[in-house]
């Protein structure tokens, strides 16, 4: 995972290296916990970062837990809310769908979905 600088004065695009994705950590107004979005690339619109192809990581719990991504489309985030940005090699869960994850748990009848906010809390150590 490599830190990247978000500077709309230098470039209008934020594009990771080939085979990488962007990971943006942010704190929304009136929230104490950090949130994390993953995306294909970003573009600046004034002081806003428009993130394209966004996904949130979540997982199913069964005999064998399995991560997958929930597609959330485009997101516009004010630069004041962004804590930091990274590029990381595209993880195996990034393109995995929920139904694929359910099949990989090997126990569809025992699968329990864990909410995205629970995942954010686990990643940041904050209580939802």
State how beta strands 41-45 and 48-61 pair.
antiparallel
pTM: predicted TM-score of the whole model, two decimal places: 0.69
Q: Which residues neighbour 3 within 8 Å (Cβ) at sequence distance 6 or greater? A: 84, 85, 86
User: How far is C-alpha 19 from the geometric centre of its chain's CA atoms?
Assistant: 16
Distances (CA, A) of 24 to 95, 99, 111: 17, 26, 29
> Per residue of the chain (128 residues), what is the pLDDT tens digit?
898 888 888 888 888 999 999 999 888 777 777 888 889 999 988 888 898 988 888 776 666 667 777 788 888 888 888 889 999 999 888 877 777 767 766 654 444 555 554 544 454 444 44
């Amino acid at each position: 995972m490599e830190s990247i600088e978000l500077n709309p004065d230098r470039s209008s695009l934020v594009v990771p290296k080939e085979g990488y994705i962007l990971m943006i950590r942010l704190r929304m107004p009136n929230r104490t916990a950090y949130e994390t979005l993953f995306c294909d690339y970003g573009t600046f619109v004034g002081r806003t970062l428009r993130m394209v192809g966004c996904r949130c990581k979540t997982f199913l719990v069964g005999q064998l837990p399995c991560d997958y991504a929930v597609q959330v489309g485009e997101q516009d985030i004010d630069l004041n809310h962004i804590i930091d940005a990274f590029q990381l090699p595209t993880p195996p869960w990034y393109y995995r769908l929920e139904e694929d994850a359910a099949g990989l748990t090997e126990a569809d009848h025992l699968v329990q979905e864990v909410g995205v906010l629970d995942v954010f809390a686990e990643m940041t150590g904050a209580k939802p």
